[in-house]
Amino acid sequence: MQPFESFSGIVCPLDRANVDTDAIIPKQFLKMITRTGFGPYLFDEWRYLDAGEPGQDCSGRPLNPEFVLNDPRYRDATILLSRENFGCGSSREHAPWALADYGFRVLIAPSFADIFFNNCFKNGMLPIRLAAEVVDGLFHKAGGAKPLSLAVDLDAQRLHTDDGEAIHFEVDPFRKYCLQHGLDDIGLTLEHLEQIHTYEERRKVEAPWLFG
């Protein structure tokens, strides 16, 4: 997993509450068996005017001009701003896969569904919970003629707007450590590889019948 470092990115304002995982990545794409390649199908039913299918080339599909992701101001966005209860619905991990594959590294909302929130950290994304009034202020700034840029400082746990505002956010220390070091569950286990090998060798002596 790629370590999370401080960066600046454009904010895409998705002004909807209760965005569920089926909206993030519709059910037909769950047939895909890899963790990559979901980005072109992110928000498929909102983003395109036709019905999408797994493996489909999206380059020629008709775009919905009313959907925010198709606005030229936000096509290079790496920060997604939304409303409360983002990521509700089924627990499919494909939803954070699709967001990450598209290029989002940070998600901002007043609240997230619990399982989705945890899955974001495991896939290298930083979900940030901010008070509703702070999110309102960011929506106001992001909807102007010029897109809003934010500098994300994970170490200091601060967002910096391009007009000089600093916004503090909370993050669990363990999740922060994992993001900064690029550690998913497998990576955390491999940090103890020497101890694992030592245990295995001891067990071979203590219980040789377990090893054939």
Residue 177 counted as domain residue: no
Residue 1 counted as domain residue: no
State phi, psi for 157 to the nearest 5 degrees: 55, 55
State the pLDDT confidence band at 153, using cuts at 50, 70 and 90: very high
**Do the Cβ atoms of 71 and 64 come closer than 8 Å?**
no
More confident residue, 187 or 125: 125
Residue 187 counted as domain residue: no
Residue 158 counted as domain residue: no
**6-59: per-residue pLDDT in tens?**
889 999 999 999 999 999 999 999 988 888 999 999 999 999 999 999 999 999
Using CA atoms, how far apart are residues 38 and 78, in angstroms rounded to an integer?
Answer: 16
Using CA atoms, how far apart are residues 47 and 145, in angstroms rounded to an integer?
Answer: 21
CA atoms within 13 A on the CB side of 98: 23
Residues spanned by the domain of 64: 13-149
Domain count across the chain: 1
- The one-letter amino acid code at 110 reads P
Query: What average pLDDT is seen over the chain?
Result: 93
Residue 65 counted as domain residue: yes
pLDDT above 70 covers a percentage of the chain that reads 100
Residue 184 counted as domain residue: no
Residue 127 counted as domain residue: yes
CATH number at residue 144: 3.20.19.10
pLDDT for residue 210: 84
E strands of the chain, at which residues? 7-13, 79-81, 106-109, 126-129, 149-153, 158-161, 166-168
Residue 163 counted as domain residue: no
Overall average pLDDT of the 174-199 stretch:
84
